[in-house]
Amino acid sequence: MPSDFGSRRKMKLCVILTAAWLLMFLLLLYVTGPLLEVPIEKNEKLEQNLRVISIRLSHAFRQLEKLRRQNEELKKMIKVDFSSQNKTIRTLLEREKAMNEGSAIKACNPVPPRIEYEQTRRMIHSAVRDMWSYLETRFKSILDTHESENKSFLEEVKSLLVGSAGRIQFILKFLDSLPSVDGHAGWRQSEARYLSTIIQNRIKLLQNPPNCAATKLLMCQVSSDCNRLACRLERVTACLAEAYRMLRTLVIDDNAWNTNFLPLSQVCSDIQNKEEYVGVPWPGSPHDMRIDLSQDQDVLSWKVVPYDFSQHLNRLRGDPLLWWRGQLFSYLMRPMPTMNNLYHRVKERIKFFRNPIIGICVDDEGLLDDLISAVEHRYSQLEIKDISLQRRIFVSSNNWDIPRKIKKTYPHIDIMYVSEELMIEVGAEEFAEDRFEFQKDILDVHFLQNTEFIISASQSNKLCHIALAMKMNHTDAQMVSLGNISASDHKRYLDYMCIIKHVAQNEEEIELNIGDSVINVEKLPNGYSKGVNKVSRRAGLFPSYKVAGLTRYKKFYDFKGSVSTTKITTKAEQTTEEVYEYED
């Protein structure tokens, strides 16, 4: 484009110069015209003609000088204009290049949705589920308390229950499909991978220092009374979160853990039993090389989320704390080759383990009917578009009789579970006897996290929550809890805030005003929750949808640098900031 513009300007300049020389030639003809007209024999007029010529020459020279000045000015104007145009062209080309590069970036990096959209989408989904829990509980209560009433009335209530269930399933089906059709699915996947890569690389960096002997360590003790996976994992996760906060390398003193999972460090894995590595009691000081974190010491770092992820997680995930736990679980639960082989041998013998499959956690036989009802509800939701799906469930239970009872009572359902006989068959007896249940828990979590949906009941929801947290590494996973979400649930670390005013309807309920803080929240399966209003100091019931969870974010030591070359600085800010995030 600049070369074409220059050619046109040069051509214009040539035309102007040619016209100027032609004008000079005409002036010369005009000046010398009298000489051509004067005959030689008329000498008497020569003097008069010379005077006329002299006057005309003077006039011609003045005109030529004027043309010369105009010509110089014209050259300057053309030069300046050409330079200005070149600058403009360069600017336009640069902007065009930048726009093209920007378009390429946008094509490679999907555009994120607005944070308000993501929060509203999750809020609607949660509200619909709460509404169905409330309606289903009320309908069933009416049926139970009016068994002796008019049969036509009861049939009408049952019809209303079935009709409502179908409509709710229809709504939930399309709410579940919304993330895959709203144009932001690519962003959610890339953002989840990006954040997970950052966390995993940071942990690897901390756990594999250049020189272990000169590295500050955090020594973690695990009680020998803690035999099951959930208990051990809770303790080790707290230690890893604290090591992350303190920028220290974690060393675990737990033979059972180190037998089933890969070492946390490739360079500092053989020092836990050496006396010279005994340190000072936690919290110690930044100058102490070794700090011991004993079993009975509780730490805050695993109950909060690192602040530098707040903006990302408020948009990406409905439960940032569970996501943070899932990242720690993923690093801690990398199986040893022996454990991995055991998992694959068990999977080969469990038939029909393919999606869609629903995972359930149950220890109480009295909840089986409610569990199977929830399973049917979920499959009915899936069957809105896919006709006649075979019911498949994976059962995690500490009661060996429950899977057998489900198989006998509900023969139309394909049931998969890790049985005692199966573990012995595949060779689990080669491991120490006291670790049998520990390994069974590990296998249950592996299978649960590969199911499409999780349904939890009673106090057995610890393994379900571990699996749910690990599923959140890839998606905004969902779980339905039929029992109360009690102190065993990670949400006991959440405070709640009232977002919709509530007026107590009876003596069991408490009043809530917008902005009131609610603690010790226990979510019930009927659409209500129990908790304590910190303002009025009253405890009681309130509708679950009228409060929102507050995720606590805390500034840890700053990590700076790219994902692949993360660098650590020792600048620390110990302030805490709470950010509103709706629970779903």
> pLDDT, tens digit, for every residue of 300-349?
777 888 888 888 888 888 888 888 999 999 999 999 998 888 888 888 88
Contact status, residue 405 vs residue 411, Cβ threshold 8 Å: no
For the ranges 82-86, 346-350, 401-405, the lowest mean pLDDT is seen at 82-86
The pair of structure tokens assigned to 301 is: 């770092």
> Does any domain span residue 165?
no
Peptide bond into 209 cis (omega under 30): no
Residue 244: burial class (beta carbons within 10 Å; 0-12, 13-18, 19+): buried
Edge-to-edge strand ranges of the sheet holding 217-221? 249-253, 217-221, 290-293, 280-281
Same domain, 221 and 312: yes
For the ranges 92-106, 370-384, 450-464, the lowest mean pLDDT is seen at 92-106
The pair of structure tokens assigned to 523 is: 């979510």
Same domain, 323 and 343: no
The domain that holds 207 is classified in CATH as 3.40.50
For the ranges 19-33, 158-172, 502-516, the lowest mean pLDDT is seen at 19-33
Above 60 in pLDDT, residue 185?
yes
Residue 78: burial class (beta carbons within 10 Å; 0-12, 13-18, 19+): middle
Model confidence band, residue 83 (pLDDT cutoffs 50, 70, 90): low
Contact status, residue 245 vs residue 324, Cβ threshold 8 Å: no
Contact status, residue 196 vs residue 188, Cβ threshold 8 Å: no
Peptide bond into 2 cis (omega under 30): no
Domain that holds residue 65: 2-108
The pair of structure tokens assigned to 559 is: 């990590």
Contact status, residue 43 vs residue 79, Cβ threshold 8 Å: no
Last residue of one domain, picked from the residues 308, 331, 354: 331
Same domain, 477 and 346: yes
> Does any domain span residue 118?
no
Last residue of one domain, picked from the residues 108, 138, 156: 108
Contact status, residue 296 vs residue 542, Cβ threshold 8 Å: no
What whole-number distance in Å separates Cα of residue 536 and Cα of residue 513?
Answer: 10
> Does any domain span residue 134?
no
What whole-number distance in Å separates Cα of residue 222 and Cα of residue 256?
Answer: 10
Average pLDDT, the chain: 75
Q: H or E segment at 172? A: helix 151-181
> Does any domain span residue 174?
no
Same domain, 289 and 220: yes
What whole-number distance in Å separates Cα of residue 97 and Cα of residue 102?
Answer: 8
Residues in the chain, overall count: 584
What whole-number distance in Å separates Cα of residue 238 and Cα of residue 557?
Answer: 17
Pairing relationship of beta strands 576-580 and 547-554 according to DSSP bridges: antiparallel
Q: What is the pLDDT of residue 308?
A: 85
Last residue of one domain, picked from the residues 448, 483, 518: 483
| pTM of model > 0.85 | no
What whole-number distance in Å separates Cα of residue 247 and Cα of residue 571?
Answer: 11
Same domain, 80 and 95: yes
Q: What is the pLDDT of residue 210?
A: 86
Could you tell me how many helices (H) and strands (E) the chain has, helices first? Answer: 15, 18
Above 50 in pLDDT, residue 489?
no
The pair of structure tokens assigned to 173 is: 């089906």
> Does any domain span residue 167?
no
Same domain, 364 and 418: yes
Task: Name the more confident of 423 and 22.
Answer: 423
| Domain count for the chain | 4
Q: How far is CA 99 from CA 85, 105, 115, 187, in A?
A: 21, 10, 26, 21
What whole-number distance in Å separates Cα of residue 127 and Cα of residue 113?
Answer: 21
Please state the φ and ψ torsions of residue 396, each to the nearest 5 degrees: -110, 120
Alpha-helical segments (H) within 247-336 = 255-260, 310-316, 320-332
Same domain, 284 and 346: no
Contact status, residue 289 vs residue 216, Cβ threshold 8 Å: yes
Q: Residue 270: helix, strand or coil by DSSP?
A: coil
Same domain, 322 and 420: no
Same domain, 291 and 203: yes
Same domain, 304 and 196: yes
